[in-house]
Amino acid sequence: MSKMIMSAVTLCAACGIAAAADVAEGELDGQAVNNTLSSAQLLAPASFTMPMDAFIFGTMPTATVLGRGGNNDVDFYSLQTGPGPVYFDIDGASGFDTYLALFDSAGTLLGDADDSFPPDAGSASDLDAFLGSYEIPSAGTYYIAVSRSGNFAAASFSGSGFAELARPDGAFGGFRFSDSRFGDSAFELSGPQLGEAYRLHVTIPAPGGAGLAAAGLVTIGLRRRR
């Protein structure tokens, strides 16, 4: 491998734009191991790459989770992000009507979504939930939970106000809540994983410098061709 190619690979890895495999949910059918905030499955920073899926809005870093749920199962995933817009898109859920809920590091509910209408590209129907875009105010750890319609976050609509969110294409993207019950990350039901498949896209803002790094890759390519 030439030094030029090695430099490109190093730079690509540093800015998070290399291709990566989908993240497999660690919970197995019949288990209930990521049903709470404290047992959430971590989405490592390396999981977030430039979108390779045509059904993902925009070009911000995205991690794609292949999970299974349904019935009373709740799947929590933790992520670290800086300030800016985030959104969460369920595609290809088979056998159950999905629900999404976003929590801050204290477990306070920030927003949720039951449906996505009209269906976005990649969704079989409006039962594939879409949450966002939600404007993250500050860098930190956040949590996204996947459940089924009817098994909602206990703190949903518990605060002083709510507002509709809009998808990147302007369609309905769920609700943003104000002053939800502090630290209440409970769900109405929580039980073992049933085993119906879903595909979750988690999209976060690009870190500072990622654009410059990407531009650097273009420059490397031009110089190599010359």
pTM: 0.83
On whether residue 173 sits in a domain, the answer given is yes
Q: Which pLDDT score, from 0 to 100, does residue 104 have?
A: 98
Spell out the residues 6+ positions from residue 9 whose beta carbon is closer than 8 angstroms to its own: 1, 18
Digit-coded pLDDT (tens) for 168-226: 999 999 999 999 999 999 999 999 998 899 999 999 998 764 433 343 333 333 333 33
Q: Which domain holds residue 74?
A: 22-206
Percent residues over pLDDT 90 in the chain: 66
User: Is residue 4 domain-resident?
Assistant: no
Beta strands in 57-97 (DSSP E): 62-69, 75-81, 84-91
226 belongs to a structural domain: no
Provide the CATH number for the domain around residue 190: 2.60.120.380
Confidence of residue 20 (pLDDT cuts 50, 70, 90): low
How many domains does the chain contain in total?
A: 1
Does residue 46 belong to any structural domain of this protein?
Answer: yes
Residue 16 lies in a domain: no
Separation of alpha carbons 36 and 76, rounded Å? 6
| Cβ-based neighbours of 188, under 8 Å, separated by 6 or more | 151, 152, 154
Does a structural domain hold residue 120? yes
Amino acid letter for position 201: H
- The answer to the question of residue 34 being in a domain is yes
DSSP helix/strand/coil, 109: strand
Residue 116 pLDDT: 87
User: How far is residue 98's CA from residue 141's CA, in Å, rounded to a whole number?
Assistant: 23
Within a domain: residue 104?
Answer: yes
